[in-house]
Chain A
Amino acid sequence: MDDQTLRELKDTARRIRILTIDQIGYLGVGHIGGALSIIEVLTILYYRHMHIDPKNPGMKDRDQLVLSKGHAGPALYSVLAHRGYFPEEWLHTLNIGGTRLPSHADMVRTPGIDMTAGSLGQGLSTAVGKALGHRVDGINSKVFVIIGDGESNEGQVWEAAMSASHFKLNNIIAFTDYNKMQIDGYTQDIMDLDDLNAKWVGFGWNVLRVDGHSFPALDRAITKAKRETCRPSMIIMDTIKGKGAFFAEGKLSNHNMPFDYDTAKEAIARLEREAEREKAAAEKTPGGEK
């Protein structure tokens, strides 16, 4: 990944993060933690890896995303608005009665959402269905899925995992948002996932492990997963819940957190100052993260 691309992705991700904090802060409460931990993966998918057309959200051979952890909807709404699926003004309608942007991802209401989700554990099964359907139709596109680590407590995830490898669905590329927290506490204390890599390997998947906030690492893993010929791929992302919002980052209370709009504005101002600092540093010393 060249420096220019990396800088652009970082800038885009920062903008998405700002839109997400603003969106939830404007309402005053929401799933900020698990939204902010997947900003990088959403950014790299929608701005670099997915074959999509915001003008034609129903395009038959598009790549699709199943946001199985549907409560992170606001992060995806920020991406879709920024990518041009609908106006950014919609973001201030989150969860207001009659809105097209409900808390959990909803394919009926929101342009660009490929699957309804929110009852945890269900997304990977639907991705298996999409991938099988594409195979029947000879459509050579990818189905991306984002699963939560807490969500991985659900038995259905593992039924779906077994079926994806049984049907050799190399057109599925899944991610686990491994931020190590769930609603009641640390995943290790509530329901320990133990060796998550070994679990997915045991289910017959191609497993990759990355820093979920590093674009070069995500890029290498996705590129590798796209080349896989006979297995579905699981990219386990080590992430930080609430990443990038000073009031939420790494806090156990950030799952569905109230915060006022002034706090959101302060967090956004800090991100904007960070952007300025990075810009100044980049002008001084070309190069950086590879």
Chain B
Amino acid sequence: MSNIQDMRATYNDTLIELAAADERIVVLEADLMKASGTVPFRDKYPDRSFDMGVAEANMAGVAAGLSSVGKIPFAASFTPFASRKTYDQFFISANYARLNVKLVGTDPGVTAAFNGGTHMSFEDGGLMRNIPKLTVFEPCDNISLAALIRKSAAHEGCTYMRLHRKGGQIIHEKNTEFELGKGIVLKDGSDITLIAIGFVMVPEALKAAEELEKEGISAAVIDMHTVKPVDRELIVKYARKTGAFVTCENHQVVNFLGSAVAEVLAEEYPALLGRIGIQDEFGQVGTLEFLKKDYGLTAEDIAAEAREVLKKKK
């Protein structure tokens, strides 16, 4: 694990590769260039990197302006500032104007750790999910991150990505084909389906599935990296197959992954559902381990929820 680069380094490297082939790629930061990891991009392409200072609303508007003259801007800040502080600018100047801005929120949810409640966003994905036509996704490892950044760049229209910054991990096979809006089955199963998203929760879901196997419960695990548009087909397929779900997200259970899955099930194929995630709480300081335990985001919490859901199945 230690020789895997930080997710932010993969973000930076992928943007440099894209920029070499496509002169439209530009990068914006709001005094968090070091945090987002795009200093090497700036050093390589000083004319295509813009540090806008601590002014996220302006950054979103400037990104929209760059897009309006043909650029493909990637603009990043911590999740609460990339979302709450830019909401109307990103909504109107970028999305309503049908432009092509790639907004990135870093340190999603509990990974804000010692920065605490002011920097800990459990609602950014939900805000973004409310914007018409916007594509919203959260990669869980370095492989899907690199692939999905490329998909985002190629996608005509705005996207919002939740980006885990520090640390890296490999979950997907190297040659996996990724597509925005298409979930990936990491492990098949027949009793219950664990649908997870992001760097923190996908590994917890995999661990929970292992636990459950020991008890004779066959749990499928899906990496649902894109919440909007969500992969309806895959959800329905596993509703038919398992009839029971637990969603796992480092976000409020409202209006992000848990809601998206609940909506599809209610409309297409009613099935039992438990939702692991933040239950109507604000953020707070603490280590990642403390926060995962405190908000109930661990593999044990997921396995326990799966058992509860399965009780109702009988």
B92 near A107: Cβ-Cβ < 8 Å? no
Give per-residue flags for B43-64: 1 if the beta carbon is below 8 A from chain A beta carbons, else 0. 0000110101101011011111
| Cα–Cα distance between A130 and B61 once the two chains are bound (Å) | 10
A122 near B61: Cβ-Cβ < 8 Å? yes
In this complex, the interface size class of chain B, counting residues with CB under 8 Å from chain A, is: 20 to 34
How far, in Å, is A197 (CB) from chain B's closest CB? Answer: 22
How far, in Å, is B296 (CB) from chain A's closest CB? Answer: 38
A129 near B64: Cβ-Cβ < 8 Å? yes
In this complex, the interface size class of chain A, counting residues with CB under 8 Å from chain B, is: 20 to 34
B55 near A163: Cβ-Cβ < 8 Å? yes
Quick one: closest B residue to A141, CB to CB? B69
Inter-chain contacts of A60 with B (CB < 8 A): 70
How far, in Å, is B111 (CB) from chain A's closest CB? Answer: 27
| Cα–Cα distance between A167 and B67 once the two chains are bound (Å) | 18
Binds B, one of A41-49, A111-119, A178-186: A111-119
| Cα–Cα distance between A65 and B52 once the two chains are bound (Å) | 22
Inter-chain contacts of B98 with A (CB < 8 A): 108
Inter-chain contacts of A122 with B (CB < 8 A): 61, 88-89, 92-93
B interface, over-half SS: helix
Inter-chain contacts of B68 with A (CB < 8 A): 107, 114-115, 126, 129-130, 133
A162 near B55: Cβ-Cβ < 8 Å? yes
A133 near B69: Cβ-Cβ < 8 Å? yes
Q: Is A2 an interface position by the 8 A CB rule?
A: no
Inter-chain contacts of A136 with B (CB < 8 A): 26, 47-48, 71
B61 near A129: Cβ-Cβ < 8 Å? yes
Leading 6 A-B pairs by shortest Cβ distance: A129-B65, A125-B61, A126-B65, A133-B69, A159-B58, A116-B97
20 further contact pairs, Cβ within 8 A, besides A116-B92, A125-B89 = A107-B68, A115-B93, A117-B92, A119-B88, A125-B60, A125-B61, A125-B62, A125-B64, A125-B65, A129-B63, A129-B64, A129-B69, A130-B66, A132-B50, A133-B26, A134-B69, A159-B57, A160-B61, A162-B55, A163-B52
A-B contact pairs, 12 of them (CB 8 A): A115-B65, A115-B93, A116-B93, A119-B88, A119-B93, A125-B62, A126-B61, A128-B61, A130-B66, A131-B65, A133-B69, A159-B57
Q: Which residues of A contact B (CB under 8 A)?
A: 60, 106-108, 114-119, 122, 124-137, 139, 155-156, 159-160, 162-163, 166-167
